[in-house]
């Protein structure tokens, strides 16, 4: 595959950081967008060491003007943009009544409007050329809201509606610009160490947990196969999405009401100064990398991802029932 120009938001840490590495291994020229300049520069160095070309562009995706300026710089220094990955996000772990209005606004501006602004910037450059791919990084929580994450779940649900509407508009005009979404499972990223929380114990991802490289590989694969409207990463995501359709009330709501608080907290008390050091309104200095502290339990790969990527051939060989059963196991 020829070298492509790729833009990645949220590129300084977590899934975005792992995704930078995957595109760099492919040899892409990459524009890295995020607020944390320490993490951005470290990610850019890694990308160059892996064979890619990289520029770090400090950007708050909640600011449309900053996103537009970053897109201009990426085009000017790297060339026409082939792939735009919207990965930046923010959240707060707390019951709805404990979240302040400015916190809801900030989560929505970063997680939802950040993807809208990134998509708009990409479209301004892709539609005139009639080519390009936009990858929205979603979540199983775009289908199933869970306790303590009402702000984030609301934003992820909004991205689904926005993306579905845009897809039909592109189809209506016969555009060759493609848009696809990658819905992710719980991941061992830096998120739990940086997120704002009002809970008594330290945050953790809901098991089963996967390493961010699982998500990164799926994002790169999705960018190469944008004809598929959605990519569900790992069996836990598949079961969450299907379960939200089949049993949203009695089983889904009641089960989450019972388990959803404890499953998102460890047994360790949270640091009393946590609110002063979280990332919601200002970046936390330093290079935080891609991985969180849950490596001992995080799965480095997902058979479900491999099966989903090869489902066409597998369906022909084994039928839909066998594939669904295999996905459910992972």
- What local confidence, expressed as pLDDT, does residue 311 receive? 58
3-class secondary-structure state, position 143: coil
Can you tell me the distance from the alpha carbon of 84 to that of 91, in angstroms, rounded to the nearest whole number? 22
Can you tell me the distance from the alpha carbon of 26 to that of 235, in angstroms, rounded to the nearest whole number? 26
Can you tell me the distance from the alpha carbon of 128 to that of 157, in angstroms, rounded to the nearest whole number? 29
Q: Quote the radius of gyration of the chain (alpha carbons, Å).
A: 19
- What local confidence, expressed as pLDDT, does residue 327 receive? 54
Q: Tokens 């929505």 — which residue?
A: 108
Is 152 one of the catalytic residues?
yes
**Beta carbons of 149 and 93 less than 8 angstroms apart:** yes
Looking at 112, 117, 152, 279, which residue is catalytic? 152
- What local confidence, expressed as pLDDT, does residue 28 receive? 98
- What local confidence, expressed as pLDDT, does residue 251 receive? 61
What is the residue-level pLDDT of the chain in tens, covering all 330 positions? 558 999 999 999 999 999 999 999 999 999 999 999 999 999 999 999 999 999 999 999 999 999 999 999 999 999 999 999 999 999 999 999 999 999 999 999 999 999 999 999 999 999 999 999 999 999 999 999 999 999 999 999 999 999 999 999 999 999 999 999 999 999 999 999 999 999 999 999 999 999 999 999 999 999 999 999 999 999 999 999 998 888 777 668 999 999 999 999 999 999 887 767 899 999 999 999 999 999 999 999 886 666 666 555 554 655 555 555 555 555
- What local confidence, expressed as pLDDT, does residue 317 receive? 56
- What local confidence, expressed as pLDDT, does residue 299 receive? 94
Instruction: Count the residues in the chain.
Output: 330
Nearest to 54 by CA among 33, 71, 68, 36: 33
As a three-state string, the secondary structure of 260-295 is CCHHHEEEEECCCCHHHHCCCCCCCCCCCCCCCCCC
- What local confidence, expressed as pLDDT, does residue 89 receive? 98
Other Cβ atoms less than 10 A from the Cβ of 196: the count is 22
Task: Write down the H helix ranges in 190-310.
Answer: 191-194, 212-224, 235-246, 254-259, 303-309
Other Cβ atoms less than 10 A from the Cβ of 87: the count is 29
Can you tell me the distance from the alpha carbon of 94 to that of 199, in angstroms, rounded to the nearest whole number? 6
Backbone angles phi, psi at 11, to 5 degrees: -85, -5
Sequential DSSP letters for 12-69: TSHHHHHHHHHHHHTT-EEEEEES-HHHHHHHHHHHHHTT-EEEEEE--TT-HHHHHH
Can you tell me the distance from the alpha carbon of 172 to that of 193, in angstroms, rounded to the nearest whole number? 44
Can you tell me the distance from the alpha carbon of 294 to that of 210, in angstroms, rounded to the nearest whole number? 9
- What local confidence, expressed as pLDDT, does residue 2 receive? 58
**Beta carbons of 17 and 30 less than 8 angstroms apart:** no
Can you tell me the distance from the alpha carbon of 318 to that of 57, in angstroms, rounded to the nearest whole number? 47
Token pair of 5, please? 């120009």
Can you tell me the distance from the alpha carbon of 52 to that of 32, in angstroms, rounded to the nearest whole number? 12
Contacts of 173 (CB under 8 A, 6+ apart): none
């Amino acid at each position: 595959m020829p070298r492509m120009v790729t833009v990645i938001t949220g590129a300084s840490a977590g899934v975005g950081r792992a995704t930078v590495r995957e595109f760099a291994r492919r040899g892409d020229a990459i524009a890295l967008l995020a607020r944390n300049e320490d993490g951005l520069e470290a990610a850019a160095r890694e990308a160059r060491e892996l064979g890619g070309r990289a520029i770090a562009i400090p950007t708050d995706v909640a600011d449309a003007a900053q996103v537009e300026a970053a897109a201009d710089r990426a085009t000017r220094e790297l060339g026409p943009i082939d792939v735009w990955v919207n990965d930046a996000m923010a959240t707060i772990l707390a019951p709805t009544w404990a979240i302040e209005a400015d916190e809801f606004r900030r989560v929505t501006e970063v997680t939802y409007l950040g993807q809208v602004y990134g998509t708009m910037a990409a479209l301004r450059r892709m539609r005139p050329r009639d080519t390009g791919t936009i990858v929205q990084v979603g979540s199983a929580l775009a289908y199933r809201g869970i306790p303590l994450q009402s702000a984030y779940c609301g934003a992820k649900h909004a991205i689904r509606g926005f993306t579905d509407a845009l897809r039909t508009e592109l189809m209506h005009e016969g555009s060759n610009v493609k848009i696809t979404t990658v819905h992710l499972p719980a991941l061992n990223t830096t998120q739990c160490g940086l997120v704002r929380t009002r809970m008594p114990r330290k945050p953790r991802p809901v098991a089963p947990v996967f390493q961010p490289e699982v998500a990164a590989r799926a994002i790169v694969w999705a960018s190469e196969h944008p004809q598929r409207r959605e990519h569900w990463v790992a069996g836990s995501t598949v079961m969450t999405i299907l379960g939200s359709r089949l049993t949203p009330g009695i089983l889904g709501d009641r089960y989450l009401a019972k388990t959803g608080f404890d499953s998102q907290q460890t047994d360790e008390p949270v640091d009393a100064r946590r609110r002063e050091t979280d990332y919601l309104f200002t970046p936390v200095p330093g290079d935080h990398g891609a991985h969180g502290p849950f490596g001992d339990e995080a799965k480095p790969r997902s058979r479900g991802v491999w099966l989903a990527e090869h489902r066409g051939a597998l369906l022909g060989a084994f039928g839909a029932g066998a594939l669904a059963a295999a996905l459910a196991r992972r």
